[in-house]
Amino acid sequence: MADNNNVIKFHKQIHINIAAIIFFIIFIYILFHVFTYLTTENITIYEVSQGTLTSEDNYSALAIRQEQIVTADQDGNIYYFAPNKSRVGARSMIYAIDKEGKIVDSLKNTDTVVDSSKLNLSSLESDIQTYINNYNGDEFYKTYSFKNDLTNSLQEIYDESVLEANSEAISAALSGNTFFTYYPPTSGLIVYNIDGYEGVTVDSFTSDMLDSSNLSSENLRNKETILSGESVFKLVTSDNWNLVMKIDEKMAETLADGSAIEIMFNEDNATTWCSYEIMEKAGEKYLVLSLDDSMERYADSRFISINLMLDEENGLKIPNSSIVEKTFFTIPKKYFTKGEDSNDYGLILQTKSGVEFVSTTIYYETDDFYYVDSEAVSEGDKIQMVNSSETYTVGSDTAQLEGVYNVNKGYAIFKQISVIYQNNDYTIVETGTDYGLALYDRIVLQGDKVNENDIIQ
């Protein structure tokens, strides 16, 4: 029998899986960064560029045109042929009056197929191709005129087909004096809205007319029947027209030495140049614009929203979303001094053990003050003038600055800006300022999402 006392027992060895540990560490690292990415505000960086903005002033302008209202000469059911804002000549049939109503009912309910031979497809194709070849993005407003021309051409062909389909009944009604067709007294642009301002001129307008809340308009095409003497349509007889708006003294002074200005129509962002004059009535100043184009696009609008495109402002262009306000301590310049071993400006701070020099970052200056933040000093700290017992309490004076966060060095640093001009989206700021931005600086797009010294990756 073997002697068990001679058996040597070994402890079970623990085998460490280095690969598994490394994999676990990498997994935790990736998980941490994924979590950080998902929970951290996504910050976008914007590169500062040179740019321009055009000063804009918005107005709702009263449109004054040469307009003539045409009235009916008898009662009956009415049927319109000419589309709204279509150009017509002396031979253009505008409307018809049916004393019995039978022909109008037939015209409205006629299902007709337009004869394709009357479409003159080659001519339409040529017109479309000409428009495409001459298209200019800066003159997009011409698209509306082109669209109206095509629509009116097709409407005329359709009306001809409807009339042809009812030709026998119409001939009988014309002979029986129960159906009458009408043409314009002169060429012009057909408009079916009337508002009582048709007789207003540049000389006769009054201040209350420029209040759009006083306007009441009527769409004549909603009528199915008409009485003798009632308005049938309005004819604009000239492409020359005016826009009138009240302006303040400052704007009057700005425009006093000029004679022409560029304007933008807010409806479609089309721009045009026009001459102008400044009129005074009852102590109020009015700007009167004189135009010879664009009339037909807005012929059925009495009030038109426009921008006066004034001087272009040049400088560094930044998004408005980058701009923040920050509060600073304003400390008299006489308390600042340079450190013994550096050229950095700082302050002599009183402490429990004596005084010490603290270096500060200067964000802005005026004739008497430097602007510093709470990085080096805090509200209530006592600072001492060099070679003097005179002291100053930090926080006694504060001021706010507009600025952005510069991230050229990988962390957020506030930079003061001096605004030249601002619109709804962008701001033009001065370039070359001592504490401001420079061309190609990188700034935070979402300025309110970061703080001073935040690390920006």
* Tens-level pLDDT at each residue, the chain (457 residues): 555 566 555 555 555 567 777 777 888 878 876 766 565 567 899 999 998 887 768 899 999 999 999 999 999 999 998 888 889 998 888 999 999 888 888 777 766 655 555 555 555 565 566 667 666 665 555 565 566 556 655 556 666 666 666 777 788 888 889 999 999 999 999 999 999 999 999 999 999 999 998 999 999 988 999 999 999 999 999 999 999 999 999 899 989 988 999 999 988 888 899 999 999 999 999 999 999 999 988 999 999 999 998 877 889 999 999 999 999 999 999 999 987 777 788 999 999 888 999 999 999 999 999 999 999 899 999 999 998 989 999 999 999 999 999 999 999 999 999 998 888 889 999 988 889 999 999 999 999 999 998 888 6
| CA terminus-to-terminus distance, the chain | 76
Within 10 Å of residue 357's Cβ, how many Cβ atoms?
Answer: 16
Buried b (16+ CB within 10 A) or exposed e, 159-189: bbbbbebbeeebeebeeeebbbebebeeebb
Size of the chain in residues: 457
Nearest of 191, 227, 233 to residue 97 by alpha carbon: 227
What is the rounded CA–CA span in Å between residue 200 and residue 64?
Answer: 7
pLDDT of residue 133: 65
Within 10 Å of residue 11's Cβ, how many Cβ atoms?
Answer: 5
What pTM did the predictor assign? 0.58
Beta bridge partners of 96: 79, 181
Contacts of the segment 202-210: beta carbons below 8 A, 24+ positions apart:
202/64, 202/242, 202/244, 202/279, 202/288, 205/62, 205/64, 205/244, 206/281, 207/246, 207/281, 207/282, 207/284, 209/62, 210/62, 210/244, 210/245, 210/246
